[in-house]
């Protein structure tokens, strides 16, 4: 009996001494392992490659030879600023109508006054282009707007032009087509995210505004947008990152050359040129510059917009607290 009691006491001590909190490290370990293998190590390797001369000249391998920041100097002596400009022009041309139409649709679909019928059908339709591969989308537009494509046939038959329009030889048309494809592929996804943000706003706030006589525009400007700001900034930053990384659509539409005259050559297309020629040093330098641009712009947008949002929220909070204090003082005086 004594030995049995001792064994029970030992087992109880073991159970009490076992730390279940350590299981948390077991469950979060996969994230850190995957991040280290597929993100951190490649990032370090990319920065390392940017400091070395490493390329092929025919069948001869040159390097790797440490050259410091010489690759970065060579990159900035090239037309990289032009390619950065192309990237931002095309991104802005697609993002402005994307965010405008997405905001409009999200307000319509979440409005309790409009009560749009067949909402599920329309939501499915606007999201469907997001499911199509970008390469397939680009090939479709390339076929439609080629010199002998259906677009020119329709234009000539209807008499809108006397000769074929060379869409892919025009700077404006080519950039416009790339921007249009980006818009069609992503406005549905943006609409869904903005709808989720609007549906998270308490309905009582909208009802109170209507009782106070606010019109729909005032409700949108004074209530919807300020309270939607965190989701809106998230959409803006993710769209910016996607715009800087724009590659597949202009690559296929312009046959990888950024025609006409490299006016549609994006930053990642320029990076791909160096990777295709096995110039890993220059490719690493362009990758580091791309990473730096993405980080700087994302952090700047977040800081400027969210600081203003936090200050606005803090201002409202302090105002309400001051009113509460004043009421308390008044009540204390009357007593």
Backbone angles phi, psi at 81, to 5 degrees: -65, -35
Please state at what angle helix 171-199 crosses helix 80-110, rounded to 10 degrees: 40
The CA distances from residue 143 to 137, 148, 149, 246, in Å, are 10, 8, 6, 21
pLDDT at 315: 43
Between CA 313 and CA 310 the distance in angstroms is: 5
* In the block, residue with structure tokens 């940017």: 50
Rg (CA), the chain: 29
Q: Which residues pair with 66 in a beta bridge?
A: 52
Task: Going from the first residue of the chain to its last (335 residues), give the mean pLDDT of each consecutive group of 10, the final group possibly shorter.
Answer: 61 58 84 92 92 83 87 93 95 94 92 81 86 87 91 89 89 94 92 92 89 89 90 93 92 89 93 90 94 93 75 45 39 35
Sign of CA dihedral 157, 160, 161, 167: negative
SS3 of residue 265 by DSSP: coil
Tokens encoding 252: 């296929």
Question: Would you state the pLDDT for residue 124?
Answer: 86
List Cβ neighbours of 157 (8 Å cut-off, separation of 6 or more).
none
Please report the sign of the dihedral spanned by the C-alpha atoms of residue 11, residue 15, residue 16, residue 18.
positive
């Amino acid at each position: 009996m004594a030995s049995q009691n001792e064994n029970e006491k030992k087992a109880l001590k073991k159970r009490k001494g076992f730390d279940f909190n350590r299981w948390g490290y077991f469950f979060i370990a996969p994230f850190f392992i995957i991040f280290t293998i597929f993100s951190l190590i490649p990032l370090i390797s990319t920065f390392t490659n940017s400091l070395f001369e490493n390329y092929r000249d025919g069948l001869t391998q040159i390097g790797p030879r440490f050259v410091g920041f010489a690759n970065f100097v060579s990159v900035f002596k090239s037309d990289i600023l032009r390619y950065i400009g192309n990237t931002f022009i095309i991104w802005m041309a697609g993002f402005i109508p994307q965010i405008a139409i997405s905001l409009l649709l999200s307000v319509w679909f979440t409005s309790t006054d409009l009560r749009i019928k067949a909402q599920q059908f329309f939501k499915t339709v606007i999201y469907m282009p997001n499911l199509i591969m970008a390469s397939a989308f680009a090939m479709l537009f390339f076929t439609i707007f080629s010199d002998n494509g259906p677009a020119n046939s329709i234009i000539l038959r209807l008499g809108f032009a006397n000769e074929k329009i060379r869409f892919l030889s025009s700077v404006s048309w080519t950039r416009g087509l790339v921007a249009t494809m980006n818009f069609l592929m992503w406005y549905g996804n943006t609409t869904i995210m903005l709808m989720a943000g609007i549906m998270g706003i308490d309905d009582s706030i909208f009802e109170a505004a209507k009782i106070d006589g606010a019109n729909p525009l005032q409700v949108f400007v004074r209530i919807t947008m300020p309270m939607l700001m965190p989701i809106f900034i998230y959409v803006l930053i993710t769209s910016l990152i996607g715009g800087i990384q724009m590659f597949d659509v202009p690559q296929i539409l312009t046959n990888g050359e950024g025609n006409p005259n490299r006016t549609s050559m994006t930053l990642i297309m320029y990076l791909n040129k160096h990777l295709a020629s096995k110039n890993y040093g220059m490719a690493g330098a362009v990758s580091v510059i791309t990473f730096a641009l993405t980080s700087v712009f994302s952090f700047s947008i977040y800081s400027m917009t969210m600081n203003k949002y936090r200050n606005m929220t803090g201002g409202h909070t302090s105002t309400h607290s001051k009113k509460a204090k004043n009421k308390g003082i008044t009540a204390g005086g009357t007593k």
